[in-house]
Amino acid sequence: MEMELKVNQDNCLGCGVCVVACPVNASISNEVAGGHGSKTTETIMMVENGFIKLFSPEKCTKCGTCQLFCPTDAIWLE
Amino acid sequence: MISNTKEVKARDFEISRSAEEKRELLYKDDICIGCGICEKTCPVDAIELGSIGAIVRTDADVPKIVCDEDKCVLCGMCSVVCPVDALEFKIDDEDIKNMEEYPSLISSAEINDEICIYCKACETACPREAITIARNLPERSKLVTGEIEIDKETCIDCGICEEMCPADAITMEHKLPTSDDPTVSSDIIVDKDKCVYCLICKKSCPVDAIKAACRTCSYGEYDLNPEDAETTGASFIDQETCVNCGWCQEICPVDAATVVKSFEGELSVDQEKCQACGACVDICPCNVLSFPASSASGMRPEKVMSDENYCIYCGACENVCPVKAIEVKRTDIKHTPTKSKSWDKKMESLKT
């Protein structure tokens, strides 16, 4: 039973910790891993206009790292 | 028409079919380590491994595997290849792991109580909390002897000895002084079973009210009954939760633990690809993987490190790694023989 990556923008603080913590993002873009937010939409998720947005959720491997780091339950697997 | 029936209890399930013979598959989610070997081995693709990274790390109330009862043919293969007994397969109430016709993985973990010194190192090290060591310690009073007496006439009830005593052997019964009886204590008692004759009380007494002597100090070494100094006990391994990882064997100072692993292989981590997310560290049932200590606070930890001594080559880490940085190879499989060529082939297919 495959889980799905979900976001709730109402909870999102726009801190970007999920973007930085995500190991798949880091392997796609080193800038993202360094916290410099490259503009590539190749990554799974990015903060856009202060809110988290999913760009390539199909790349998600459901490892749960984003959920572990998110302080407000704005991103999770279900 | 005969069909399978599936019963789901919490995160566990049970699939059964009653025809000429009763065939049952029972799954226990709390035993499952999420390795996915059953999914890969199932001949009819009935088993699906869930998003184990997310399930294990976020403690989601979702089973680690699901089995489609319509696809399941109740062959029992998943049960035989499961490295941890999360899947049990019974034919007419008998576990096929006990049946000669079927192959089964050879693995075990044992502690020899004849050799065990009950130090509890294995109990502490076991990553599955599968080991319990019950021990009876020797009686202190039989290991050290001496004399102690408090002269109550000289004693001023200051309580220093009570506070100083490292063995908690001295008890003073405190009371409020009255005009009738101006003392602050009604009694002072030495528990000779607890006293170790260290003479701390004697040395700290401000009025020299304590007379005490240690037999060893007075007369030198004397012979103890070796039996009195012995710690006895019993060890217990919960075979259901034990994954035969080998921590107990490695850590045991007297080689009392023996672990036989069913798989041999190699584990490699590609440090270039690794993003240090920790999914493998969290999923590993054997504490094989860990992060080296971070060099400074706020620093991203170094890449992941591994100690293959404890690896059971289940492949859970390889499955969970989001960036395919881990490779687990199984080079040898120990299993009991079977006459069935198809079963033998399936067992051998666990090699990668």
Neighbours of B50 (CB within 10 A): 22
Question: Do B35 and B316 touch, CB atoms closer than 8 A?
Answer: yes
Q: What pLDDT, on a 0 to 100 scale, did the predictor assign at position A37?
A: 59
- Distance of alpha carbon A60 from the chain centroid: 9
Give the number of beta-carbon pairs within 8 Å between A and B. Answer: 74
- Pair (B169, B311) in one structural domain: no
Q: What pLDDT, on a 0 to 100 scale, did the predictor assign at position B20?
A: 79
- Pair (B131, B212) in one structural domain: no
Q: What pLDDT, on a 0 to 100 scale, did the predictor assign at position B309?
A: 93
Give chain A's domain count. 1
DSSP annotation string for B248-292: HHHH-TT--EEEE-SEEEEEEE-TTT-----HHHHH-TT--EEPP
A27 in contact with B, Cβ within 8 Å: yes
Q: Nearest by CB to B51, which of A3, A23, A24?
A: A3
Q: What pLDDT, on a 0 to 100 scale, did the predictor assign at position B300?
A: 63
A68 in contact with B, Cβ within 8 Å: yes
| Cβ-count burial B12-44 (b if 16+ within 10 Å, e if not) | bbbbbbeeeeebbbbbbbebbbbbbbbbbbbee
Instruction: Tell me, yes or no, whether B342 lies in a domain.
Output: no
Rounded Cα–Cα distance for residues B315 and B326 (Å): 9
Rounded Cα–Cα distance for residues B54 and A5 (Å): 10
Q: For residue B121, which of B311, B305, B253 has the smallest C-alpha distance?
A: B253
- Domain of residue B25, CATH code: 3.30.70.20
Dump pLDDT digits (tens) for B69-82: 999 999 999 999 99
Instruction: Tell me, yes or no, whether B345 lies in a domain.
Output: no
What type of residue is B252? C
Q: What is the DSSP letter of A69?
A: H
Rounded Cα–Cα distance for residues B52 and B318 (Å): 11
- Pair (B173, B46) in one structural domain: no
| B293: containing domain | 263-333
- Pair (B150, B206) in one structural domain: yes
Q: What pLDDT, on a 0 to 100 scale, did the predictor assign at position A34?
A: 64
Q: Nearest by CB to A67, which of B58, B320, B321?
A: B58
Flag the least confident range among A5-14, B110-119, B257-266, B288-297. B288-297
Q: What pLDDT, on a 0 to 100 scale, did the predictor assign at position A42?
A: 85
C-alpha angle B10-B16-B20 in degrees, rounded to nearest 5: 165
Q: What pLDDT, on a 0 to 100 scale, did the predictor assign at position B1?
A: 65
Residue B165 — pLDDT band, cuts 50, 70, 90?
very high
Neighbours of B178 (CB within 10 A): 8
Which chain B residues have any C-beta within 8 angstroms of a chain A C-beta?
A: 48, 50-51, 53-58, 60, 62-63, 66, 273, 275-279, 320-323
Cα first-last separation, chain B? 40
- Domain of residue A52, CATH code: 3.30.70.20
Give chain B's domain count. 4
Q: What pLDDT, on a 0 to 100 scale, did the predictor assign at position B218?
A: 77
Residue B255 structure tokens: 């080689």
**Record: contact A24-B323, CB cut-off 8 A:** yes
Chain B residue nearest residue A30, CA to CA: B275
Flag the least confident range among A3-17, B112-126, B182-196, B298-312. B298-312
- Pair (B70, B94) in one structural domain: yes
- Pair (B154, B74) in one structural domain: no
Gap from B44 CA to chain A (nearest CA, Å): 16
Instruction: Tell me, yes or no, whether B184 lies in a domain.
Output: yes
pLDDT at B45 exceeding the cut of 70: yes
Q: What pLDDT, on a 0 to 100 scale, did the predictor assign at position A20?
A: 87
Residue A48 — pLDDT band, cuts 50, 70, 90?
confident
Percent of chain B clearing pLDDT 70 (strictly above): 99
Q: What pLDDT, on a 0 to 100 scale, did the predictor assign at position B143?
A: 87
Q: What pLDDT, on a 0 to 100 scale, did the predictor assign at position B81?
A: 95
| A71: containing domain | 5-77
Instruction: Tell me, yes or no, whether B350 lies in a domain.
Output: no
**Record: contact A3-B60, CB cut-off 8 A:** yes
Flag the least confident range among A33-37, B8-12, B43-47, B79-83. A33-37
pLDDT at A38 exceeding the cut of 70: no
- Select from B55, B67, B277 the residue whose CB has the most chain A CBs within 10 Å, as the one to mutate to test that interface: B277
